[in-house]
Amino acid sequence: MAVVVSSSGNAPAFKAKMTVYVFVCVVIAAFGGLIFGYDIGISANVNDFKGGVTAMDDFLKKFFPSVWEKKQHVHENNYCKYDNQFLQLFTSSLYLAALVASFLASAVCSKLGRKPTMQFASIFFLIGVGLTAGAVNIVMLIIGRILLGFGVGFGNQAVPLFLSEIAPAQLRGGLNIVFQLMVTIGIFIANLVNYFTATVHPNGWRIALGGAAIPAVILLFGSLIICETPTSLIERNKNEEGKKALRKIRGVDDINEEYESIVNACEIASQVKDPYRKLLKPASRPPFIIGMLLQLFQQFTGINAIMFYAPVLFQTVGFGSDAALLSAVITGVINVLSTFVGIYLVDRTGRRFLLLQSSVHMLICQLIIGIILAKDLGTTGTLGKPQALVVVIFVCVYVMGFAWSWGPLGWLIPSETFPLETRSAGFAVAVSCNMFFTFVIAQAFLSMLCGMRSGIFFFFSAWIIVMGLFAMFFIPETKGVPIDEMRERVWKPHWFWKRYMLAEDDHQDVEKRT
Ligand code: BGC
């Protein structure tokens, strides 16, 4: 089966078909996203709310006995849940490890290719899963967690880049978002696994942690049949192989134009010896600043905080002991299904429309939730059922908006906007920023909630206004633009960013003259 890709958007694109082979490559690579999502869901960043392994008594008694002890005696209210920074740090060690690993992964990605980087990711995952699921002491557990973090660092570095490079320009957005789709599926599966293994004593937590081995094995063996991206092959002087790979994934004979464009990009890239130094040059500023800010914005939408808080809200509505399951199923399914909306729309309406629409959409949700909680929920009081129901509905509507915008686009835009010479390095900075801000929110959320109470929703609302305005003025449309043509077609014509491009051109002129 091969569907001809029609040229749409604001730029003529190269000839390509949507081939079955590309589809298979996309799905296999995106398993990296599934493992990331599973890791987010399984340990529960905010241990009290989500019932991940860190909320399981067997697990706490074995590895964190003093935490378990204390937890039995604390008095909680609606905003101040038991908060243990040490336990939180254990969960977050994955993000810290991933933060560091993404730089290493970037070097592997450039020197050896996207495919081996994914293979390394799956090996890190497998060892990490073995150590955490089989842990007999805390050292094993933490080393395992760090290795899982390395897996996330390598996977999140290689997979979005891989997807953006093998996708035909007109379908790049949708195919890249398959990564986020798998993240949401991973979170969803992990929440279900958490729920069911919580009642398995004493080793339910081992089953939960061990589950990640399945997608890791799929990624490892699957990565044997996928191809390397033509860009990465040509960048490493394997031009003939690159041409063959390009012909195979595009499903058409006439790939010369795209091939030339890649060769051109590789020539420019080969003159850059230090990509990190190049990142600091004016011409790199647009994708660099946008790539970093997108990560800050993605996390400061408050998504993880809200998703972790959701079970408490569901409980308040009156679902009792089923709250955790119901919340996992309802928010999980909404998260997954709404990501399909993103896949469908991103190459039709474009990236900007989704970012702007969802900023208004998510702002309204946050404000309504904040106002209801501020008005009706005292410090220890409970919400009335109707109010709680409205809150739950708006939590779901909010998750929907995130799932088709800031969630996937936080990964897509940085993976498609850097020129080849800084693509891997620039994306590594973006990945590590994502990990850093995820860490910050995970570490601070419970204390913030306790200190700010319903104000936390207004705090996130303020951020949503900032990011909406930023998107409006500074994030250009990249729909349909070939990945190696961003400079000419996106940055040079942009009302603000063009100044850095012109500065660079002037600089090069002066260099040539002297
Ligand atoms: C974010 C995660 C978040 C997930 C929710 C991802 O894009 O990076 O932090 O938990 O989306 O679906």
Give the Å distance between the CA of 504 and the centre of ligand 1: 35
Contact 71, 224 (CB under 8 A): no
Give the residue, out of 39, 40, 431, with the most ligand 1 atoms within 8 A of its beta carbon, to mutate for a pocket test. Answer: 40
| Residue 52 three-state SS | coil
Give the residue, out of 46, 298, 339, 415, with the most ligand 1 atoms within 8 A of its beta carbon, to mutate for a pocket test. Answer: 298
Give the Å distance between the CA of 153 and the centre of ligand 1: 14
Distances (CA, A) of 343 to 29, 178, 350: 16, 7, 11
Q: Give the atom of ligand 1 at the shortest distance from the alpha carbon of 434.
A: 8
| Pairwise CA distance, residues 79 & 427, whole Å | 37
pLDDT at 45: 45
Going by alpha carbons, the residue nearest to atom 8 of ligand 1 is: 407
Give the Å distance between the CA of 484 and the centre of ligand 1: 27
pLDDT at 239: 97
pLDDT at 73: 78
Q: What are phi and psi of 96, to 5 degrees?
A: -65, -40
Give the Å distance between the CA of 391 and the centre of ligand 1: 21
- Per-residue pLDDT tens listing for the chain (514 residues): 444 443 344 445 788 889 999 999 999 999 999 999 999 988 764 444 456 788 788 998 999 888 888 878 777 777 777 777 778 888 889 999 999 999 999 999 999 999 999 999 999 999 999 999 999 999 999 999 999 999 999 999 999 999 999 999 999 999 999 999 999 999 999 999 988 998 899 999 999 999 999 999 999 999 999 999 999 999 999 999 999 999 999 999 999 999 999 999 999 999 999 999 999 999 999 999 999 999 999 999 999 888 878 887 787 777 776 787 888 899 999 999 999 999 999 999 999 999 999 999 999 999 999 999 998 876 556 788 888 899 999 999 999 999 999 999 999 999 999 999 999 999 999 999 999 999 999 888 888 888 898 899 999 999 999 999 999 999 999 999 999 999 999 999 999 999 999 877 655 655 555 5
Q: Which residues line ligand 1 (CB under 6 A)?
A: 40, 180, 183-184, 187, 298, 303-304, 335, 407, 410, 434, 438
pLDDT at 507: 58
Encode burial over 405-438: b for 16+ CB neighbours within 10 A, e otherwise: bbbbbbbbbbbbbbbbbbbbbbbbbbbbbbbbbb
Contacts of 176 (CB under 8 A, 6+ apart): 160, 163, 164, 167, 408, 411, 412, 415, 416
pLDDT at 56: 84
pTM above 0.75, yes or no: yes
- CB-hemisphere CA count at 13 Å for 144? 23
Contact 130, 148 (CB under 8 A): no
Burial of 184 (0-12, 13-18, 19+ CB in 10 A): buried
Task: Give the residue among 261, 258, 284, 286 at the shortest CA–CA distance from 272.
Answer: 284
Give the residue, out of 304, 400, 435, with the most ligand 1 atoms within 8 A of its beta carbon, to mutate for a pocket test. Answer: 304
pLDDT at 512: 54
- Measured N-to-C along each axis, helices 85-111 and 114-133 cross at an angle, to the nearest 10 degrees, of 150
| Pairwise CA distance, residues 180 & 152, whole Å | 13
Going by alpha carbons, the residue nearest to atom 1 of ligand 1 is: 407
pLDDT at 506: 58
Going by alpha carbons, the residue nearest to atom 10 of ligand 1 is: 304
Give the residue, out of 36, 163, 176, 303, with the most ligand 1 atoms within 8 A of its beta carbon, to mutate for a pocket test. Answer: 303
